[in-house]
Amino acid sequence: MANPESQIPNPKSQEPSGSRIPDPGSRGEEDYCRHLESHLCRKNDGHLIRIVGPAFEQVCGWARRGIPVKLAMRGIDRYFERYYAKGARRRPVRIEFCEADVLDVFDEWRKSVGVSIGAGLVGQESGADLSGPRSSLPAHLERVIARLTTLRGGHARTLDPILDSIIRELDAARVPAKSLRGDAREALIDRLRQLDVTLLDALKRQDDDSSLRQLAVEADEELKPFRVRMPADAYQQAHRACVDRLLRERANLPTISYE
């Protein structure tokens, strides 16, 4: 029997060298669905489930909302991570099952970059709260300390000195954070923002120019569906935030700031 995955076009084989997977609006909704269909097929170990009928309309809705292809793929991956964690798989996953995770990933991306669905403006969400629910400040500090400690013992040791310094400072602030109020609490939150910037700047300094340029290109691709609706200064701000998010994601860095 032929491999089901061979029944669908390979996106990489049909595009020129160096090209990227298109985002919504670049080649239309059918192309958007084709790439997600191909990705879902790979995640299902070659079992092809066509995106047709109601599923096609559902996925086209993601494209119309401006959800970049890579973020939709990340949402699909997140669903599969939970699916695998449940034990032995029973049947191939349909794209419809992944929608909640796709929308969650997109929402997290908008919050980190500051893009509005409606107006495409940084820091505005048409009356909605961009920050959403959050954990307590002490719990946030504990998670950040745990993540940074794991990174400190990883294969890349160039950031160890700054990680050690940040971990010590956060550990000293963790217990007092439970009782901080008013100006003292705001001062700690401001300090967390400064530490976040300090860590990202240190990571940028050790990166080569070509890597940073590639991240800038990826940020352009992610923001493409929103660019025409964004003022130039808002776009630049969102682009910087997007590059920082990609850099943080690549290095598996936690977000130290508490917003």
In the prediction, which pLDDT does 124 show?
38
Domain residue limits, the chain = 4-113, 137-251
Give the model confidence (pLDDT) of 200-259 as tens digits: 988 888 888 888 888 899 888 888 877 877 788 888 888 888 888 888 888 888 888 887
In the prediction, which pLDDT does 134 show?
55
pLDDT reading at 126 higher than 50: no
Mean pLDDT of 41-69: 89
Buried b (16+ CB within 10 A) or exposed e, 163-198: beebbeebeebbeebeebeeeeeeebeebbeebbee
The two structure tokens encoding residue 162: 């700054």
- Per the CB < 8 A criterion, the answer to whether 66 and 117 are in contact is yes
Higher pLDDT, 32 or 119: 32
Average pLDDT value for the chain:
78
Higher pLDDT, 113 or 46: 46
Q: What is the sign of the dihedral through the CA atoms of 29, 31, 33 and 39?
A: negative
* Closest of 92, 76, 178, 192 to residue 137, by C-alpha: 178
CA 194/CA 201 separation, integer angstroms: 10
CA 238/CA 119 separation, integer angstroms: 13
CA 34/CA 72 separation, integer angstroms: 12
Q: Which amino acid is at 244?
A: D
List the single range of 52-66, 110-124, 131-145 with lowest mean pLDDT: 110-124
For 114, the 3-state DSSP assignment is coil
Give the model confidence (pLDDT) of 75-106 as tens digits: 899 888 888 877 776 788 999 999 998 988 88
The two structure tokens encoding residue 67: 């959800």
